[in-house]
Amino acid sequence: MKATDSSNQQLKEMLQQRAMVVKAIRDFFWQENFLEVETPQLVPQPSMEPYLEVFETALLDQQRQPSRAFLTSSPEFSMKKLLAKDVGNMFQICKSFRNAEGLSSRHNPEFTILEWYRVGQDYTAIMDDCENLFRFIGKALGLKTLKFRDYEYDLAEPWERLSVPEAFAKFAGIDLETMLDESRLKDVAKQKGYSVGADSTWEEVYNQIFLNEIEPHLGLEKPCILYDYPAEQAALSRRKTSDPRLAERFEFYVAGLELGNAFSELTDWQEQLARLEADRQEKIRIGRTVFDIDMEFIEALKSGMPPTAGIAVGVDRVVMLFLNQTDIQSVLVFPAHKWWPEVERENV
């Protein structure tokens, strides 16, 4: 067999396996009576995460005058506008885009994302969904265990659920009060040898510790749901009623690989507007592309978005797991490095 024949066969097998994973995801949500929706990936204002860079382009009118346009980093805002119209439980599988993250074994600038929202539920319902979805995919592929890297997971076993304060105490020796106090956290970080300057923010110090001392330990013995993030990292999630210092947000991990980010969704339009403006100011501070707040999204919240929980999951990473591939580029048909080989690949 020629080398090209062999590589073509490998590509075909990957495409078939990838399609089976994506079909299983779709079947799961149809079985759960979710509505599948489509929303635009080209929008006038994307979401406002400060540390995510966007792809910017323009729409031209008949006089060829440009209007700013952006590729979305997720369909979140558009889907929440539908939630405010009482569409109910919904999911979407689509392309999303993130710029300036480089190429690595975990990142491709164009990627496939899965988002779903449960109306009338909080983030604990989404935790259950994640476990059930993985079991459903495994069953569709005829798998009882999930093998990835040097790890093997029994798909029938319940996942670990670990709070962020518990994780900081367990892996970094930092208690909740220290974690939330900027001065105390900086002192501890300096003692640990991290780079902490006079202008370092709490979030920058927190992230150094999290990425180096917490994240590598997550999801090793079994998949791990890491929940209750500091309120400063609430993003679009609501604060916990029992402890407003924390937010009802979780991410889940397998073998140290982050796969999804979930919230009990914030529905208070005034707090959401204040957070978006703070994020916009942070974008200005760190030199990211700046754009207007999506006021249509704020108006949707004003009109009355119901209590909802939702999540965004990286489909390419899920495919990686179920195909036991350690490089995301190997589960993409046309990975970005083929077209832009000059872009340095990060060693991640």
Instruction: Indicate whether 271 belongs to any domain.
Output: yes
**Whole-number pLDDT of residue 1:** 54
Give one word for 91, left, alpha or beta, with left for phi > 0 and alpha for psi -120 to 50.
beta
**Which CATH number fits the domain that encloses residue 284?**
3.30.930.10
pLDDT of residue 213 exceeding 70, the answer is: yes
pLDDT of residue 3 exceeding 90, the answer is: no
pLDDT of residue 12 exceeding 70, the answer is: yes
- Give the integer Cα–Cα distance in Å for 214 and 210: 5
Instruction: Indicate whether 235 belongs to any domain.
Output: no
Number of domains in the chain: 1
Instruction: Indicate whether 269 belongs to any domain.
Output: yes
**Whole-number pLDDT of residue 341:** 81
Instruction: Indicate whether 220 belongs to any domain.
Output: no
**What is the average per-residue pLDDT within 308-332?**
96
Measuring CA to CA, which residue among 234, 65, 238 is closest to residue 164? 234
* Tens digit of each residue's pLDDT (9 = 90 or more) over 184-196: 999 999 999 999 9
β-bridge partners, 147? 152
* Helices 123-140 & 3-31 angle (0-180, nearest 10): 130
Q: 3-state DSSP helix/strand/coil percent for the chain, to nearest 5?
A: 40, 25, 35
What's the chain's average pLDDT?
Answer: 95
**Whole-number pLDDT of residue 342:** 76
Q: Are 36 and 92 in contact (CB under 8 A)?
A: yes
Domain extent, residue 298, equals 3-58+67-159+253-338
* Tens digit of each residue's pLDDT (9 = 90 or more) over 70-120: 999 999 999 999 999 999 999 999 999 999 887 888 899 999 999 999 999
Strand order in the sheet with 55-60: 42-43, 66-71, 55-60
Instruction: Indicate whether 9 belongs to any domain.
Output: yes
